[in-house]
Amino acid sequence: MKLQLIKDGIRNSFLYKAYHHYRTIKDLKSWSTHDHEMLEFYSQFLSAGSLCFDVGANVGNRVKIFLELQANVVAVEPQHECVKILKETFGKNLHLKIVQTALGAYVGESEIMISNSNTISSMSSEWVTAVQKSGRFSEYVWSKKQQVSLTTLDHLISQYGEPDFIKIDVEGFEYQVIQGLSRPISMMSLEFVPECIETTVKCIEHLENLGAIELNYSIGESMKFFLKKWIGPEEMKKYLLESLKESPIFGDIYIKSV
């Protein structure tokens, strides 16, 4: 407990925050081997002139890739600090729209739990409890809260147009985001963790009600599809519940309209 208090004190210090801010922007402006792997992977879905929604953009490690592919990007992010970094790093790019809001099942207001690592801030208390209990993120705390505006994917589409690809990474709030969508989308991805696999299953059920779909998935940051061929929703739901629920594997489900 004492060590955790020391760590939290360091993370909350002005010097640490200033250095972390500087380092994050520096990393976003440089290119790593993994960035090139992401570029190759996402080029399957996006090209010059494509429209992409990055829901849960955070500081923009995917925004960076989508812009390099010359896609038009709508970056949706509610956290103040993350939006500040997005603006400082990519704000001059005419292909980017930064929307400081959260997405959900309705238009209104809600609350986000801010973690001492902004990549895992969440609007789902169930997700936070689950990943702490499992030990995945037991060393982190969600001690702050931030009021956020809330809109839906349907409203976003009415404002910016129908996207070619949607990336959704919102730490357990994926189903609420999907509930705000009433039409099929060409391609999208949803983050999954085994602790909340039922949430992913509900997302798939909502999407299959909108139209015929096929699915695949990737593990972690592998930037590779795990399955050799795309499968139907019933097969994927069975696979998630029987094979991935009790495993430590996390990653992204990819869903395409067929």
pTM over 0.85, yes/no: yes
Of 66, 30, 60, 61, the C-alpha closest to 48 is 66
Q: What end-to-end distance do the CA atoms of the chain give, in Å?
A: 52
Residue 70 clears pLDDT 60, i.e. is over it: yes
pLDDT digits (tens, 9 = 90+) for 7-19: 555 556 656 567 7
Task: Tell me how far the alpha carbon of residue 62 is from its chain's centroid.
Answer: 9
In terms of pLDDT, which residue wins out, 137 or 14? 137
Percentage of residues of the chain with pLDDT beyond 70:
93
pLDDT digits (tens, 9 = 90+) for 174-211: 999 999 999 999 999 999 999 999 999 999 999 999 99
According to CATH, what is the number of the domain 32-99+160-257? 3.40.50.150
- Asked whether the beta carbons of 170 and 177 are under 8 A apart, the reply is yes
Stated as kind and residue range, the H or E segment containing 229 is: none
Q: Return the pLDDT at 10.
A: 52
Taking the domains of the chain in order of start, what are their residue ranges? 1-30, 32-99+160-257
